[in-house]
Amino acid sequence: MNIVHRAALAAVLSLAALSLSPIQSADAATQCGKASWYSLTSITASGVRHNPAAMTAAHRSLPFGTKLQVKNLSNGRSIVVRIIDRGPFIAGRIIDLSRGAATKLGFKNKGVTKVCFSKLSG
């Protein structure tokens, strides 16, 4: 591997480490940070087809099927979502919500908002 390839690999690994660093541990009772939304119809990391209208989300490490209470800090709206996918993979974001969830939380047109979420039992 030559110096150019090593430098490129080091840059990619540095960016990957930044994008995968959660704001707080996935085991924390409540996590707060930036949320974004996405709208695909492909198969998710959990093996189910993504339904953009469903109340679902992607998280880097929470188990599939985990239910979260998510609150938009800018307007106080709150919903329950289920983790079905992995992501987000952009530095500084802690959760990717479905288009439907973003609409219910009132930030679809904005694209990104600050949220807090906590796991629900069961």
Confidence of residue 116 (pLDDT cuts 50, 70, 90): very high
Q: Is residue 24 scored above 80 in pLDDT?
A: no
How does the average pLDDT of the chain come out, rounded? 83
Q: What are phi and psi of 16, to 5 degrees?
A: -65, -40
Q: Please identify which residue in the block is written with the tokens 């609409």.
A: 103
Domain ranges in the chain are 3-119
What is the CATH class of 3-119?
Answer: mainly beta
Q: Is 29 exposed, middle or buried (0-12, 13-18, 19+ CB in 10 A)?
A: exposed
Q: What pLDDT is stored for residue 22 in this prediction?
A: 41
Q: Is residue 1 scored above 90 in pLDDT?
A: no
Q: What pLDDT is stored for residue 28 in this prediction?
A: 56
Q: What pLDDT is stored for residue 20 in this prediction?
A: 39
Dump pLDDT digits (tens) for 46-63: 999 999 999 999 999 999
CA distance 35 to 20: 14
Cα 53 to chain centroid distance, Å, stands at 16
